[in-house]
Structure 1
C-alpha cells in the first residue's frame, strides 16, 4: 500500500509541473461580449425617423402694415392711397375720372383669393366703384365691383336706401355677371376661388362664406393673375359723375394656394 501511495504522489506531481502559466486563464482578461443589447449604442436616427415632415404653408397674407410686394397701377389721376392704421385707404375725388389702383407684384393661378373690405356709405348716384379683382388682361379678368348702381338696376334688385350693389363678373371667356345688394357701412370678406375642371379655370364668387355665383371659364393656368385693390370712378355703376369723394378700406388681402 505504501508503494502504491508513493507512486500516485509522484504521478500527481509530474502532472502539476507539466502545466505552464500560459494554460491558466485569468478571468479579468476575458472580453465582455458586445452583443449584449443593454450595451448597444442607441441610434441617433430613431427619433428623426418617426418625425413627420410638414409641407411649407400655402397661405399668403398681406395685412397692409406697409405696401411691400405691391405696386402702383393707377390709370387716371394721382395715386390716392395710403396706409391707415393697418388698412389700405384708397379713394377718388369728386368731379373726376380718377382710377386709383394697386396690384400685387407677383401673379398667381389656382387658389382662393380673399379681400377684407370696408364698404362705406358712398355718394348717392355716384359713378364710383370699389374694386377687388384678378387681372391678366382685358379679356381675362375676374371682378368684385361695389357701388351705388344705376337707378334702373337698383329698381330691378329692389335695393333699399341703405344698400349698394355688388357686381361679380367674368369680363370675357365667357362674359358672365352676377349682382347682389349689400348693406353700406360694413366689413365684407370677398373671395374668388379658382379650381381646374378639364384643365380650365372654374371660378366662384363668395361673400362672407356664401357662394353667390360660379362660372366655367374657357382658359387655364397659362393665364396668371395679379391681385388688385381699387377705387375707380366708372360710368357703368351710377347715374352721374361723383358729387363727392369716395373711399374704401382694405384690412387684408389673402391668397391660399389650396
Structure 2
C-alpha cells in the first residue's frame, strides 16, 4: 500500500512539474506585447542579461535610456540580450544615433539571434561605414549607414541611410509564410527591405542591443570612446 501511495505521489509531482513548465514556456515565449522603456532598473535586470563578448559590460540606464559605450583603441563588443524568446511579430527599437566620425569602425546593433542547434540572425547594423559603401548610396556627411541583414538561410544584406545625431525607429516584422519567416525591415516606418527566408517560423529569437567596434563597419579603428542611446524597445505579436 505504501509503495502505491509513493508511486502515486511521484506521478502527481511529475505531472504538476510538467504542467508548470509548459505553462511557463507558453507565458515566456508567446508574449502578446513586451515593452522596455529602459527607465526601471529592477525591470531591466529581470528582463535582460549581459552578453558582451570579451568586453567589459559598459552599459547602464541613464536618463530613461540604455547607454552603451565602447572604449577607444579596443575591440569591444558590448551587448545585452532579452531573457525572453520571441517568434512571429513586430520588433521595434528606438535609438539615438550619435554623430560618428566618418569611416570609424564602430556599429550599433539592433538584432535577433538564435544559436541553439542551428544559428540564425536578423540585423540592423548602424554606423559610419566604409568609404566604398557610403559612396554606393551617396551618403551625406550627417548620415549613417544601416545594413539590413539576414546572416543565414539565406545570407543577404542591403544598406540604407539614416540621420546621425537624431532619434530613429528601426522595426522588423517576422511573418509566417508556409512555415518559414518572411522578414520586413523598416526605418522610421518606411519599408526598406523584404526577404523570404528558409528559417522555420517556430525558431525562437532573443532580442539584442549592442555597440561594437567592428572592423567591417569602417576603414579606420576608432580612437575615441563611442556611445549609443537606446530609448526603448517594443515587441508585438500581431
TM-score tier by shorter-chain length is 0.7 to 0.9
CA contact (8 A) 1:130 1:147 kept: yes
CA contact (8 A) 1:64 1:83 kept: yes
CA contact (8 A) 1:123 1:246 kept: no
Equivalent residue for 2:208? 228
Deviation of 1:124 (Å)? 2.2
| TM-score, length of structure 1 as denominator length | 0.76
Task: Work out the number of aligned pairs and report it.
Answer: 203
C-alpha offsets along residues 6-27 of structure 1, whole Å, 9 cap, x if unaligned? xxxxxxxxxxxxxxxxxxxxxx
Equivalent residue for 2:139? 159
Equivalent residue for 1:252? 232
Identify the range of structure 1 (141-150 vs 116-125) with the bigger mean alpha-carbon deviation.
116-125
Deviation of 1:185 (Å)? 0.5
Among 86, 107, 122, the alignment partner of 1:108 is 86
C-alpha offsets along residues 33-58 of structure 1, whole Å, 9 cap, x if unaligned? xxxxxxxxxxxxxxxxxxxxxxxx82
CA–CA distance in structure 2, aligned partners of residues 117 and 255 of structure 1: 15
C-alpha offsets along residues 153-206 of structure 1, whole Å, 9 cap, x if unaligned? 111111111111000000010011121111110101110100111110000000
Equivalent runs, 1:128-147 vs 2, <5 Å? 128-137=106-115, 139-147=119-127
CA–CA distance in structure 2, aligned partners of residues 212 and 134 of structure 1: 18
CA–CA distance in structure 2, aligned partners of residues 178 and 91 of structure 1: 26
- Greater share of strand residues, 1 or 2? 2
Equivalent residue for 2:153? 173
- Across the aligned residues of Structure 1 and Structure 2, the Cα RMSD in angstroms comes to 1.5
Equivalent residue for 2:75? 97
CA–CA distance in structure 2, aligned partners of residues 226 and 100 of structure 1: 16
CA–CA distance in structure 1, aligned partners of residues 161 and 199 of structure 2: 29
1:59 partnered with 2:33: yes
C-alpha offsets along residues 49-104 of structure 1, whole Å, 9 cap, x if unaligned? xxxxxxxx822201111223100000022110000111000011110000000000
Equivalent residue for 2:174? 194
Among 57, 67, 89, the alignment partner of 1:79 is 57
Q: Which runs of 4+ in 1 moved over 6 A?
A: none
In structure 1, the gaps of 5 or more residues are 1-56
Q: Which structure has the greater CA radius of gyration?
A: 1
| TM-score, length of structure 2 as denominator length | 0.82
Q: Aligned with 1:206: secondary structure? A: strand
